[in-house]
């Protein structure tokens, strides 16, 4: 993620590789600029202990969850770490 956030050419190449019908160059540039401005892609994939805990609290208060849960029950940190690592690795194909 860090690599894609830091280089528009890599971002454009990744979109071209993984999106069947990529948006226009102008739309890609607008999206890239938004990604630079706002924390869409956080280093932890957006699944920090606090953010997951917040969602658990909301789900509990709304009745969606009927039993207590912890962030560790929801997110496998090793899988998340590896996913973030892979997202940071430029494609070789």
What residues does each domain of the chain span?
1-40, 42-93
Q: Of 42, 25, 21, whose CA–CA distance to 87 is shortest?
A: 42
pLDDT band at residue 93 using 50, 70 and 90 as cut-offs: low
Helix pair angle (8-18, 25-37), 10° resolution: 120
Q: How far is CA 56 from the centre of its chain?
A: 19
CA dist 35 and 64 (Å) reads 31
Q: What is the pLDDT of residues 17-68, one digit of tens each?
A: 889 999 999 999 999 998 888 876 677 667 788 888 888 999 999 999 999 8
**What's the confidence (pLDDT) of residue 60?**
93
Question: Tell me, what's the pLDDT at 44?
Answer: 65
pTM given for the model: 0.52
pLDDT for position 50: 86
Task: Please tell me the predicted confidence (pLDDT) of residue 77.
Answer: 81
């Amino acid at each position: 993620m860090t690599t894609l956030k830091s280089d528009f050419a890599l971002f454009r190449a990744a979109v071209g590789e993984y999106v069947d019908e990529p948006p226009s160059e102008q739309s890609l540039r607008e999206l890239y600029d938004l990604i630079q401005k706002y924390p869409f892609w956080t280093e932890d994939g957006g699944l920090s202990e606090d953010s997951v805990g917040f969602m658990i609290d909301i789900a509990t208060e709304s009745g969606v969850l009927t039993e207590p849960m912890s962030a560790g029950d929801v997110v496998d940190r090793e899988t998340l770490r590896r996913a973030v690592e892979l997202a940071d690795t430029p494609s070789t194909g």
